[in-house]
Amino acid sequence: MKNLKIALVGQPNVGKSMLINAISNSRLRVGNFSGVTVEKAEVSFDFHNHSIRIIDLPGTYSLNDYTQDEKVTKDFLENEEYDMIINVVDATSLERNLFLTTQLLGLNKKMIVALNMMDEAKKEGICIDEEQLSSILGTPCVKVSAVTKKGIGKLVNRTVDMSSFEQESSKLVFSDTVEEEIENIVNFLVEKKYKKDVSYRDLAIKLLEEEPRTYKKMHDEPIWIELLPIIREALNHLYIHYDTKDIEEIFSEEKAAFAKGAVMETVEFKKDIKKSITEKIDSVLLHKFFGIPIFLFFMWGLFQLTFEVGSIPMDWIDAFFTSLGDYAKTIFGDGELGSLVADGAIAGVGAVVLFLPNIMILFFGIALLETTGYMSRVAFLLDGFFHKFGLHGKSFIPLVTGFGCSVPAYMSARTLKNDKDRLITLFIIGFMSCGAKLPVYVLFAGAFFGAQSAGNVLFIIYIVGAMFGLIAAKVLKVLVFKGKDEPFVMEMPKYRMPSLKLLWHTVTTKSIMYLKKAGTFILAASIFIWFASNYPKYPLIEAEFETKIEMVQSADKKSELSNELTHKLLEKSYLGIIGKSTEPFFAPLGFDWRLTVALETGLAAKEIVVSTLGVLYSLGEDVTEESGGLIDAIKKNIPFPAAVSFILFIMIYLPCFAASIVFAKESGSYKYLGYLFVFTTGVAWMISFIGYNITKLIM
C-alpha cells in the first residue's frame, strides 16, 4: 500500500475544516503543532490501495512571517516532507484566493486546486471554466462543495491519480520586465553550467525575491562573485520600473496581476455586482465592441503626435548637420577627405539623427501605455481576435514591442511556452514596423503627402503592416505550424499614474541605444557607402565633362552637365555595380538601382536606408538646403507608385542584422533564419508588386 502525505492549504474562511470533514467523514484528529499553540488537524484513511494522510495547515493569506499561523504554514511547506498540496480556494472570491495559489506554485510541489463553495458561487451567478483555469495554472482544478459534498469523490480520485504522474513545471509567469531579468540570470547560470538542486528558473526567481536561504546558500558558492553584479543590475531595473525598492511589494503586485488575469480569462459573472473604479474603466476600455476602436484611436493619436510634434525640431537638426558638413569642408577642404567627412560620415549620421525626435515620441507613447497598465488590457482584449489568426493572446506583447525594436520583441517571445506559438510570433514580428523603419516612413510621407496628412499616413502604414502580419500568421498556422492552441493568461496590473522617472528612463535608454547605433554601426556603414559610391575613379570621364562644363556659358546648362556627371559616376561606382546587378529582380516593383541599393544596405540596419538615400540623392548640385534637401530629392527622383512599392517592401522584408541574429538564437536554429529570409522576401516582393501595379492603375 502506497503512503500519501498531503498538505491542505488555503486562506482563512475558505471552508478547509468543512472540506477535510467531508473527505474524512469526521475521522478527524486535532492537536497542536510542536512548540506552538497553533492548532493542527489531520485525518488518515485508506483509498484504492493508498494510505492517505491529510494535514490541515493554519489558514494564511500569504506565505509570509507576519503571524504565528503564517510562520507555521510557511515552515511546514518549506521544510517538512510531504507528497502533495491541496489548495482550497473560495470560488466566490477567486481572484483574492489565487494570490496564495501563485505563491504555492513557486514551491514546485504537486498540487491540486479545490474550487470550494461552488454551491454559493452558482447562486451568485459565478461560472468558472475549471479546465481553462487548470491549463493556465498548470495544475488540476476541481469544483467541490464541502456543504453538499459534491465533487469530493472526484477530488480524492484526482489526488490519487496525480500521485502516479511526474510533476509538471509551474506555468506561473510574470510581466515582461521581470521575465527579462529572470532570463538574464538563467542564461548566466546555463553558461556557467552551474550544478543546482532546483531549476535555473526557480533559482533566478528566488534570487530576485531576495529569499534569505537561497542567498545564504549561494553566498558560499564560487559563482557568487560573478552572479552578484547581475542580480544588482536586475534589481535596479525593477526598482526603476516599479518606482519602489520593496521587492516584496513588487512580486506581490506581479502575482496579484497574474491572479487577476487568470480570473478575467476563466470566470464569468452572470449577475450584476458593484464595480470598482478599475472595473468601471475596464468595462469601457475592454468593451467587446468599442475596446478595439478605442485602442486604434489611441494608436492613431500617437502617430499624429509622432509626426506633428516630431517634425518641429527636424529643420533645426537638418540645418545643424548641413552647417557641420560645410564647416568640415572648410577644415578638410573640398577634396576626398572633406567629402568623406562631410558627404559620408556627417551626411549619413545626420540623416539618421534627424529622426531622433520622432523615435523619442514613439517610445514615450508606448512606454506611457505600458506603465499605466493599458497594454496588458489590450493583450486580453485582442486574445479572441488573435486566435482567429492562429496567434496566442500573449503574442501581443512581443508584437507591440516590435513597434519599438525587433531585438527585445524577439526576446520577449520567450513568455510563450508553446514552441509553435512562439515560432509563429517570431516569424511575424518583422511585420510590426520597428522604430528604425520610422525615419523611412517619415521621409516618404513628408515627401509625398505633406505635413498635414503625414500622421494619418504613418498610422495607416503601421496598421497595414500589422494586418499583413496577422494574415501571414494564419497562413503559417494552417500550412506550417499546425497544433492545438494554448490557453492564455495575461497579468492584469492595477491602473496607475505614469511614473515620470520610469518614462524618462525608458525614453532616454532607447534613445541612447539609437544614437549609439548612429555613432558606431551606422557611421561605419555610411563611410562604406560613401566609399562604394565614390570609387573606382574615372578621371577620363571627369576630364571630359569638366571640359564641356567650361565651354558652356548658361548656369542651368552647367548644373545639368554637373548632375549628369554625378549620375554617370554613381552608376559606374561599386555601389552602382551592385545595384545594377540586382536591379532586374526589383525592376517589376518600379525600383531603380538606387532604391535597390538602399534596400540591400537596409539588411544591416533599417536606419541606413535613409543615410544611403542621403548619400545617393543629395550629391546633385541642384539639391540644396533651400530646396528642402533629401525630401525634395526623393519627391523629384522617385515616382509615386515606386514610393508606395518601396514602403511596402520596407514594411515586410528581413529585419536588421542584429535582430536577425537574435531571431536565430530565439528560434533555436539558423535554418529558421533562412526560412525567414525566403518567407519575408517572397511576401514583400509579391505585396510590393501588387501595390505598385494597383497604384499605377489608380494614378
One-character DSSP codes across 638-662: S-HHHHHHHHHHHHHS---HHHHHH
| Lowest mean per-residue pLDDT among 479-483, 543-547, 623-627 | 623-627
Q: Mean pLDDT across the stretch 187-200?
A: 84
Instruction: Write the DSSP assignment of 16-78 as a string of letters.
Output: HHHHHHHHHTT-EEEEE-TTS--EEEEEEEEETTEEEEEEEPPP-SSS-SSSHHHHHHHHHHH
Cα separation, 275 vs 38, in Å, equals 38
Domain boundary among 108, 128, 162: 162
Cα separation, 339 vs 391, in Å, equals 50
Q: Is residue 193 part of a domain?
A: no
Q: Does residue 355 carry a pLDDT above 70?
A: no
Q: Mean pLDDT across the stretch 151-174?
A: 83
Q: Does residue 32 carry a pLDDT above 60?
A: no
Q: Is residue 285 part of a domain?
A: no
pLDDT the model gives residue 491: 56
- DSSP, res 180: H
pLDDT the model gives residue 348: 67
Q: Which helix (H) or strand (E) holds 9?
A: strand 2-10
Cα separation, 231 vs 26, in Å, equals 50
pLDDT tens digits, residue range 587-642? 999 998 888 888 887 877 777 787 777 767 654 333 323 335 677 778 888 889 99
For 128, list phi and psi in degrees, rounded to 5.
-115, 130
Cα separation, 8 vs 13, in Å, equals 13
Q: Does residue 170 carry a pLDDT above 80?
A: no
Q: What percent of the chain has pLDDT over 70?
A: 87
pLDDT the model gives residue 147: 82
Contact assessment for residue 56 and residue 23, using Cβ atoms and an 8 Å cutoff? no
pTM here is 0.56
pLDDT the model gives residue 625: 30
Strand partners, 113: 87, 141
pLDDT tens digits, residue range 315-341? 788 788 878 888 888 888 877 788 778
Q: Mean pLDDT across the stretch 253-275?
A: 80
Total number of domains in the chain: 2
Q: Residues 306-325, buried b or exposed e (16+ Cβ, 10 A)?
A: bbeebbeebeeebeebbeeb
Contact assessment for residue 502 and residue 243, using Cβ atoms and an 8 Å cutoff? yes
Q: Mean pLDDT across the stretch 434-439?
A: 80
Domain boundary among 105, 129, 162: 162
| Most confident listed range (37-41, 618-622, 690-694) | 690-694
Q: Is residue 279 part of a domain?
A: no
Q: Is residue 513 part of a domain?
A: yes
| Lowest mean per-residue pLDDT among 113-127, 170-184, 294-308 | 294-308
Compute the mean pLDDT over every residue in the chain, rounded to the nearest whole number: 81
Q: Is residue 207 part of a domain?
A: no
Beta strands at 28-32 and 39-47: parallel, antiparallel or unpaired: antiparallel
pLDDT the model gives residue 603: 78
Amino acid identity for residue 46 in this structure: D
Q: Is residue 64 part of a domain?
A: yes
Contact assessment for residue 88 and residue 54, using Cβ atoms and an 8 Å cutoff? no
Give the structural domain span for 420: 295-698
| Lowest mean per-residue pLDDT among 164-173, 237-246, 310-319, 617-626 | 617-626
Q: For residue 74, what pLDDT band results from cuts at 50, 70 and 90? A: confident
pLDDT the model gives residue 646: 94
Q: Does residue 521 carry a pLDDT above 70?
A: no
pLDDT the model gives residue 413: 78
Contact assessment for residue 438 and residue 363, using Cβ atoms and an 8 Å cutoff? no
The total of other beta-carbon atoms located within 10 Å of residue 121's CB is 21
Helix, coil or strand: residue 5: strand
C-alpha cell, 646: 518601396
Sign of the torsion formed by the C-alpha atoms of 551, 556, 559 and 561: negative
List the one residue out of 465, 443, 453 whose CA is nearest residue 308. 453
For 604, list phi and psi in degrees, rounded to 5.
-75, -50
Same domain, 401 and 549: yes
Sign of the torsion formed by the C-alpha atoms of 570, 571, 577 and 578: positive
Amino acid identity for residue 188 in this structure: F
pLDDT the model gives residue 72: 82
Q: Is residue 351 part of a domain?
A: yes
Tell how far CA 293 is from the center of its chain.
22
Domain boundary among 162, 192, 216: 162
pLDDT the model gives residue 693: 93
Cα separation, 345 vs 530, in Å, equals 8
CATH code: domain of residue 143: 3.40.50.300
Q: For residue 675, what pLDDT band results from cuts at 50, 70 and 90? A: very high
- DSSP, res 7: E
434 CB-contact burial (10 Å; exposed 0-12 / middle 13-18 / buried 19+): buried
pLDDT the model gives residue 141: 93
Q: For residue 503, what pLDDT band results from cuts at 50, 70 and 90? A: confident
Cα separation, 414 vs 426, in Å, equals 10
Helix, coil or strand: residue 417: coil
pLDDT the model gives residue 88: 93
Instruction: Write the DSSP assignment of 115-146 as a string of letters.
Output: EE-HHHHHHTTEEE-HHHHHHHHTS-EEE-BT
pLDDT the model gives residue 510: 74
Residue appearing with cell numbers 530565439: 666
pLDDT the model gives residue 37: 43
Cα separation, 595 vs 21, in Å, equals 78
List the one residue out of 535, 444, 433, 423 whose CA is nearest residue 486. 423
Q: Does residue 114 carry a pLDDT above 90?
A: yes
Q: For residue 519, what pLDDT band results from cuts at 50, 70 and 90? A: low
Contact assessment for residue 617 and residue 449, using Cβ atoms and an 8 Å cutoff? no
| Lowest mean per-residue pLDDT among 28-32, 171-175, 222-226, 371-375 | 28-32
Q: Is residue 229 part of a domain?
A: no
| Lowest mean per-residue pLDDT among 224-228, 341-345, 664-668 | 341-345
Q: Which helix (H) or strand (E) holds 679?
A: helix 670-698
